[in-house]
Structure 1
């Protein structure tokens, strides 16, 4: 990831007030980019956007991606050549409590976004945030970009629908063979949940662990044997920036779907991750033990394409990710 590449570059982010969007905006600001954001106000209190003062030094607009006119106006005002579309997210579990809102914000919001791109004169590269949950699970196999899509919740299904919408635009309006006319390269970045400082979502395990550690309590875990991949938000941000740079430099050759994730060595049972987090938070040693296979596993993304063509791979180990996250929350509470 070349941070110098972003100096003085105009960048537009939807969803810049969310956890991942705020970290992306911060990284771009630190790299010297001119950052413009369009998003609903932060969904939680506290939130990383306000705690880290993300809005300072950037142009921030509060708006809904379902408001097509406002979204188009904000995009045109930015005169950005790179766009990251992260808006329209939400938790998997709470999406069942707001099914209609989930589909309208993700699917129709993305359509409004893609339609606004048709009339822009400056945009050259677009990265749309997707999810590892768009795939149909396959036992014993890493998930590849060519695998069939599915969805186990409204949030996951809406992301899969959005990926199909993007594919339709890549087959028509923004087709590679028409690149000399529209000059826009688009891609979907599929990755799982990330951890890091500033995640204050109610359903976030890390936020619950941080509050328990601060209070000197042990957090009861529902599925301590569930094996999950642990990816740090810094790796997630580097994936988005690396893909956007490739779109600018390679054009339609970098368009399409891309997996970004961690390897099997980043997998830990929830119970062990909780022990490591608490130990790092309190400054205590923890007992390492071998990964067991008795727990349920979350599907791993096959990232060979990103490794081979973008030279991208995760840099932060699971233990390092938990340590960095624990240190952030300790400083926050301190």
Structure 2
């Protein structure tokens, strides 16, 4: 099957189009606007200030590579409405979120407020547009009621969520479905011209992620400091994938949804092939091999907050309906990620664009 994720296909869909991206200062958001920059889209980003030094977003802004950046909160309805209305976007990609499981235990109410109410605010702002607009809301693989029994979760499986983060993202999916039925009903598309889909991605790795309590940043910080890597749950299995994999999926979904809203208005999983669902231990050991040296310690604590030990996605729908498929296996994804962190700061932005172009050429 020939992939639709090529430079020409994506350029045809997004060149000179106005794309509003929430959460563009974050890890995934920075990579996403970098891809859109290469594709020739006009981008307006809306997000909070980046939390960490050395972010990819900082490198982008140093070189003035983002056309419009609005630093604001998606919970600020008045500001959000004004920025979307003034931009008149062709596409909206909603990535802004409180994205961390362990942090959600510390700020549960705020996690629900940002992820659920924030999404409703974005979608309500889109309803006011008097023009065609295609919307993709990014949630997570953790939206499912995870029984940890080896099931590969499909898009129609029951939503759930043990921890506040996972539950908030399941609620976000309910908000999306409600707006799709109530305001963006596909049977009335001719009158409102709004198309809405959601994307559920697995655990994403890649250069420029410096978040706390996330395994790859923890690995890199330890390797750079020549310290043993502390690992909380070495036997937990996740659908690891390089950041460019789901981002390419979001772009293909947005393009197809824009062209045929009645066919692609729904939810889609994006993750690796089942053979690439690695344990944390395997991820760490492959990372050490890619770095060239290092060691790790098991610091598992039975009193630590609950996190799922097994989570796997079925990506058949995205592969068959969108003709999207992973291009990198797990070892390649880890190698690409570690190679980014090895770069001197002055080269990180150029290396990011090199990786994007290399990926699109695969």
When normalised by structure 2's length, the TM-score is 0.85
* Bigger relative contact order, structure 1 or 2 (CA pairs below 8 A, ≥6 apart): 2
1:211-268 per-residue CA deviation (whole Å, 9 max, x = no partner) reads 2212223213222232322200010210110110111111132101111111122122
Following the alignment from structure 1 to structure 2, what is the Cα–Cα distance between the partners of residues 57 and 166? Answer: 28
**Gap runs ≥5 in structure 2:** 295-307, 347-362
- Is 1:159 paired with 2:166? no
Q: 1:76 aligns with which of 85, 107, 124?
A: 85
Following the alignment from structure 1 to structure 2, what is the Cα–Cα distance between the partners of residues 221 and 96? Answer: 19
Distance 1:67 1:329, change over 3 A: same
Equivalent residues of 1:278, 1:326 under 8 A apart: no
Matched with 1:223 is: 233
- Is 1:300 paired with 2:308? no
The runs of at least 4 consecutive aligned structure 1 residues that moved more than 3 Å come to 51-55
Matched with 2:118 is: 109
When normalised by structure 1's length, the TM-score is 0.92
Matched with 1:33 is: 41
Matched with 2:129 is: 120
Q: How many residues align?
A: 323
Equivalent residues of 2:199, 2:267 under 8 A apart: yes
**Gap runs ≥5 in structure 1:** 285-295
Matched with 2:303 is: none
Following the alignment from structure 2 to structure 1, what is the Cα–Cα distance between the partners of residues 226 and 334? Answer: 18
Which deviates further from its counterpart, 87-96 or 53-62?
A: 53-62
Equivalent residues of 1:82, 1:125 under 8 A apart: yes
Distance 1:55 1:244, change over 3 A: farther
Distance 1:55 1:233, change over 3 A: farther
Equivalent residues of 1:39, 1:64 under 8 A apart: yes
Equivalent residues of 1:190, 1:258 under 8 A apart: yes
1:49 CA displacement: 1.0
Equivalent residues of 1:262, 1:300 under 8 A apart: no
Equivalent residues of 2:202, 2:238 under 8 A apart: no
Following the alignment from structure 1 to structure 2, what is the Cα–Cα distance between the partners of residues 324 and 51? Answer: 19
1:123 CA displacement: 4.2
Matched with 2:20 is: 12
Q: 1:320 aligns with which of 332, 348, 362?
A: 332
Following the alignment from structure 2 to structure 1, what is the Cα–Cα distance between the partners of residues 86 and 192? Answer: 19
